[in-house]
Amino acid sequence: MSVFEGLKVLDVASYVAAPAAATILSDFGAEVIKIEPPEGGDGYRAMAALPNLPKSEHNYAWDLVSRNKLGLALDLRTPAGQAVLHRLVGQADVLITNYPIAVRARLGLDPQALLAINPRLVFGSVSGYGETGPEADRLGFDATAYFARSGLTDITRADEHAPPTAPAMAQGDHPTASTLFGAIVMALYRRERTGLGGVVSTSLLANGIWANAAMVQAALAGAEIRYRQARHAPRSALSNFYRCADERWLSIAMVSETKLWPVLLQVLGLPELATDERFATLEGRRAHAQALTALFDPVFLRREAAEWQRLFEAAGGFTVSVVARLADVPHDVQAVHAGAFVEADGMGGTQRTVDSPFRLDGVTKVRPRGAPALGQHSRDVLRGHGFTDAEVDALVQQGVVKEGQR
């Protein structure tokens, strides 16, 4: 039996962070109803067509976040649409949204009103900047609220003079979804004890600061904030990136630098540096990091990155990794063992999808199935909630509900 079998979830959200939390629930057996506007649906359906994103005939972004869900196209701008939603809420366990607070009021999504309909409901929400304060109504995506506002964009620049770099697609949304998932599960646990649901929330801003917590804590403590230095002039040549013979990069992160320094020289074939006074101490190696990097650079160009990784790991104690290119990741055997991928049905162009990063020993997750077309399950969903065919027909004729293609 799946963990959340029988759990009914209403995904009344758009784009990524909130809907992805519903996806995680669906992976463990919850029935998730994706509620979208009849005209155009969730804007995320068109996201993969934007410039600078991977080009494909398949809607890979939509398939990933909307897998397993039942599609209901419902116009919540109308009183009739809100009446339908409230009937569904009466039978739901969880409702997830990320609509701005002012929009929620217009769409019949006020949490207290919904809890009055169903006191066992868990209302989960994501906002850009939090739900109170002077910027509660500010719109935010992960690029702006999670990365830019949290200091992540600033602190991850290549060096203090480099311009900011845009994050990858939904890079902050998926961690935020995991946070919301955890909050919802916490509320469900409390409901098991009290019989009552409640409101849980998170924000892109808070999650970005949590991701950047070590550096932000330094700022809280009044520390001097030092930006990264350029790769050719790092603070430590022993924690750096090196280009190899195959034009791949090797990442080295040495913590036990004093212990591993003589071993490093053996691996690199540079025994003469053991007697170089510039590098005899940790302080000296840091002071002359630029010179040391310049000595290392031509050495790393003698072998391919994977060979260097094997040599370092055979020597013991080193933490290194070849910097993977995006095209490498689907073929990473260890990633499969780590549970990063799962076999799937109906995922455009592939028989696999990226799995949610949670495992429970002894529990088999639901085999993912393709995302719904707009309104694909509208009639079935409403029938399952007690609507007659005549009621559904009337809603369709009014334009409140749209039936999609199967």
pLDDT given for residue 226 in this prediction: 87
pTM (2 d.p.):
0.94
Q: What does the angle CA 137 – CA 143 – CA 145 come to, to the nearest 5 degrees?
A: 35
Give me the pLDDT at residue 51, please.
85
pLDDT band at 159 (very low <50, low <70, confident <90, very high): confident
Q: In the prediction, which pLDDT does 248 show?
A: 98
pLDDT digits (tens, 9 = 90+) for 5-54: 999 999 999 999 999 999 999 999 999 999 999 999 999 999 888 888 89
Distance separating alpha carbons of residues 48 and 46, to the nearest angstrom: 6
Burial (CB count <10 Å: 0-12, 13-18, 19+), residue 63:
buried
pLDDT of 86 higher than 80: yes
- Report pLDDT digits (tens) over 311-343: 999 999 999 999 999 999 999 999 999 999 999
Mean pLDDT value of segment 126-130: 97
pLDDT at 405 over 70: no
Cα–Cα–Cα angle for 93, 96, 102, rounded to 5 degrees: 130
C-beta separation of 109 from 97 below 8 A: yes
Q: What is the pLDDT of residue 357?
A: 95
Structural contact between residues 347 and 353, judged by C-beta atoms closer than 8 angstroms? yes
Give the per-residue pLDDT at 73.
Answer: 98
Tens of pLDDT along 249-296? 999 999 888 999 999 999 999 999 999 999 999 999 999 999 999 999
Q: Quick: pLDDT tens for 160-184.
A: 889 999 999 999 999 999 999 999 9
Res 160: pLDDT: 86
The CA distance from 188 to 195, in Å, is 9
Give the rounded percent of residues in the chain with a pLDDT score beyond 90.
Answer: 92
Burial 346-360 (b: 16+ CB within 10 A, else e): ebeeeeebbbbebee
Per-residue pLDDT, 48: 86
Q: Are 208 and 146 in contact (CB under 8 A)?
A: yes
Flag whether pLDDT at 69 surpasses 60: yes
Q: What integer best gives the mean pLDDT of the chain?
A: 95
Query: Does position 406 have pLDDT exceeding 60, yes or no?
Result: no
Tens digits of per-residue pLDDT, 193-215? 999 999 999 999 999 999 999 99
Structure tokens at 226: 């030092």
Q: What is the 3-state secondary structure (H, E, C) of the chain?
A: CCCCCCCEEEECCCCCHHHHHHHHHHHCCCEEEEEECCCCCCHHHHHHHCCCCCCCCCCHHHHHHHCCCEEEEECCCCHHHHHHHHHHHCCCCEEEECCCHHHHHHCCCCHHHHHHHCCCCEEEEEECCCCCCCCCCCCCCHHHHHHHCCCHHHHCCCCCCCCCCCCCCCCCHHHHHHHHHHHHHHHHHHHHHHCCCEEEEEEHHHHHHHHCHHHHHHHHCCCCCCCCCCCCCCCCCCEEEEECCCCCEEEEECCCHHHHHHHHHHHHCCHHHHHCHHHCCHHHHHHCHHHHHHHHHHHHCCCCHHHHHHHHHHHCCCCEEECCCHHHHHHCHHHHHCCCEEECECCCCCCEEECCCCCCCCCCCCCCECCCCCCCCHHHHHHHCCCCHHHHHHHHHHCCEECCCC
